[in-house]
A = this chain, B = another copy of it.
Amino acid sequence: MIEINLLHLPGIYNGADRLEVRTMQRSLPMSEGDKALLREVPFISLLTVEVRQKMLDMATSIHYEPRDIIFREREPSDFFFCVLNGYVRLYRLAKDGKEADIRLCGPGETFAACFLYAEGGYRYNAEATATTVVVRFETSKVRALAERYSEIDKALVGLIAAQLLDSIDCLANDRLRTAPQRVANYLLGACAGDGQAASIRLPFSKSLLAGKLGLAPEALSRAFSTLRGSGVTVHGRLIEIEDPEALRSL
């Protein structure tokens, strides 16, 4: 049962300023390489061999190009997803067209699992920000499988609880810290903290980082200039951190 459908639907003007072309994406059974990747994903890797195999068997992988929409708010939540490659941006849209990023999901991260037992459809939008491969699971099938193998629910508790804690971190970050502090905090998290000098390569554009931190791109840029005073040097996506301790003390 392979869907192959490359038909381009008619363009839809999406209210803002972008002509959106929604493409039916290829949904394919997974390659062996992708399966190997998927087995390592936190949520999947907790399952027993038997159940893990059943999950892999029902997974289909999908390829997206930058700016492709994966799903939209209020659409029925028939699938949840796991990123194999690339980055997926989850965001809310305000009536006036403004966007607020909720989360930025990289390889190995799962999204929309929180809708598995929920009604009312997705509660945010998801779009690929790069050439991206995601795997999707049909919620009805997963629910049926969880009926038989309760370890799925246990793994989900861990997964969703971790996402809740991340979301809480993000909220507290927004409410307690200024732009330079948020950036410093992000850098510290990214440079795995043995007090040594470190250099980091951002895995995505600065605009995306800005969104993730709840900032306008200009504010991120200014935050970086501020941090220059604390020994942070930026060259494109390459960031040098002289002294992590100096950042921690902001």
Chain A residues within 8 Å of B, Cβ to Cβ? 92, 94, 98, 100-102, 113-118, 123-124, 146, 150, 153-154, 156-158, 160-165, 167-172, 174-177, 214
* Choice from B114, B123, B153, B177 contacting A153 with Cβ under 8 Å: B153
Q: Do B123 and A175 have beta carbons less than 8 Å apart?
A: no
How many whole Å from A57's CB to the nearest CB in chain B? Answer: 22
Residues of B within 8 A of A115 (CB): 161
Q: Do B161 and A114 have beta carbons less than 8 Å apart?
A: yes
Residues of B within 8 A of A158 (CB): 117-118
* Choice from B98, B101, B124, B160 contacting A160 with Cβ under 8 Å: B160
Q: Do B175 and A214 have beta carbons less than 8 Å apart?
A: yes
Q: Do A157 and B117 have beta carbons less than 8 Å apart?
A: yes
Bound together, the chains give a CA A163 to CA B161 distance in angstroms of 9
How many whole Å from A43's CB to the nearest CB in chain B? Answer: 12
| Closest chain B residue to A181, Cβ basis | B94
A-B contact pairs, 12 of them (CB 8 A): A92-B176, A98-B176, A100-B175, A101-B175, A102-B171, A102-B172, A114-B165, A118-B158, A153-B157, A160-B160, A164-B167, A167-B171
Residues of B within 8 A of A161 (CB): 113-118, 160
Residues of B within 8 A of A114 (CB): 161, 164-165
Residues of B within 8 A of A102 (CB): 168, 171-172
| Closest chain B residue to A99, Cβ basis | B176
Q: Do A163 and B165 have beta carbons less than 8 Å apart?
A: no
Q: Do A176 and B117 have beta carbons less than 8 Å apart?
A: no
In the complex, given contacts A146-B154, A150-B150, what are 15 additional A-B residue pairs having Cβ atoms less than 8 angstroms apart? A94-B177, A100-B176, A101-B175, A116-B161, A117-B158, A118-B162, A123-B165, A124-B168, A153-B153, A164-B167, A167-B167, A167-B168, A171-B174, A174-B174, A174-B175
Contact A92-B172, Cβ < 8 Å, known A118-B161, A163-B164, A167-B167? yes
Closest 5 A/B residue pairs (Cβ): A150-B150, A100-B175, A153-B153, A92-B172, A114-B161
| Closest chain B residue to A96, Cβ basis | B176
* Choice from B92, B157, B177 contacting A157 with Cβ under 8 Å: B157
How many whole Å from A142's CB to the nearest CB in chain B? Answer: 11
How many whole Å from A77's CB to the nearest CB in chain B? Answer: 11
Residues of B within 8 A of A175 (CB): 100-101, 174, 214
Residues of B within 8 A of A177 (CB): 94
